[in-house]
Amino acid sequence: MSQHAMPETGPAFTVKIAETPDDLRAAQALRYDVFVRELGGGGALVDHEAGLERDRFDPFFDHLLLSDEETGRVVGVYRLMRDDQARTAGQFYSEDEYDLSVLKSGGRRLLELGRSCLHRDYRGGAAMYHLWSALADYIAQHRIEILFGVASFHGTDVDRLAQPLSALHHNHLAPPDLRVRARPDHFAAMDRLPHEDIDRRAAMLAMPALIKAYLRLGGVVGEGAWIDHAFNTTDICLVLDTARLNLRRSRIYTGARGA
């Protein structure tokens, strides 16, 4: 467990890896609040009666929990899967959406990130930074070299997302050695506009805060978006090479709901 002190004007937080069934349920309850109630998502194992957003991969992930020390409430979560955990699970979560062969064949230590979200009362402040600080510790502990995971735009109308998707494709496409590709079953081309027709301001305004945070860290995107009808999202795959990152120095204060 790690503690991250806050200025006197803000709450104090504790961050830890989930250890008990109750810890996991707290993470799943927050995910339900954000991904199902707010964003209209669903899924085969979502428990609407209990208010839990869960899936078959949860037992194989490490779940990073951010709690408000004063209330004890879990207010932020991040789901982490190393390559050794993926072997036990049979695949990475993202492999349902993206062909990850180029990453898996590279011989580098991999970490998949996902299900990142904050309680609505803790967005726009420093809470996300505390999750990222704990993530930096985890990366160092496990000697992770490549981070990746899907991040989402709300909705499945890719034409409405033409500006941000085209900006991502033209300005942040991964180099060939990191360029995963969306699977053909729900593939959507991201280069929907030519480069000269991109309105950079409009594109950035339409970009979820968490995606912008990854880009500031040097993140790049795979080829193509994947339409997730169950979650009512358009997903992209972000890839980050830790050799180019310094998570502790990157001030990621974001109001992101989730990814």
Please tell me the predicted confidence (pLDDT) of residue 177: 93
Q: What is the pTM of this model?
A: 0.88
Please name which of 45, 48, 49 lies closest in space to residue 59, comparing C-alpha atoms: 45
Beta-strand pair 110-118/74-82: antiparallel
Please tell me the predicted confidence (pLDDT) of residue 9: 58
**Mind listing the pLDDT tens digit for each residue in 47-83?**
999 999 999 999 999 999 999 999 999 999 999 999 9
| More confident position, 6 or 31 | 31
The mean pLDDT of 8-36, rounded to a whole number, is 91
Query: How far apart (Å, rounded) are the C-alpha atoms in residues 254 and 256?
Result: 5
Beta-strand pair 110-118/146-154: parallel
Query: How far apart (Å, rounded) are the C-alpha atoms in residues 60 and 41?
Result: 22
**Mind listing the pLDDT tens digit for each residue in 190-249?**
999 999 999 999 999 999 888 998 898 889 999 999 999 887 889 999 999 988 765 555
Intra-chain end-to-end CA distance of the chain, in Å: 24
Q: Chain-wide mean pLDDT for the chain?
A: 89
**Mind listing the pLDDT tens digit for each residue in 92-123?**
999 999 999 999 999 999 999 999 999 999 98
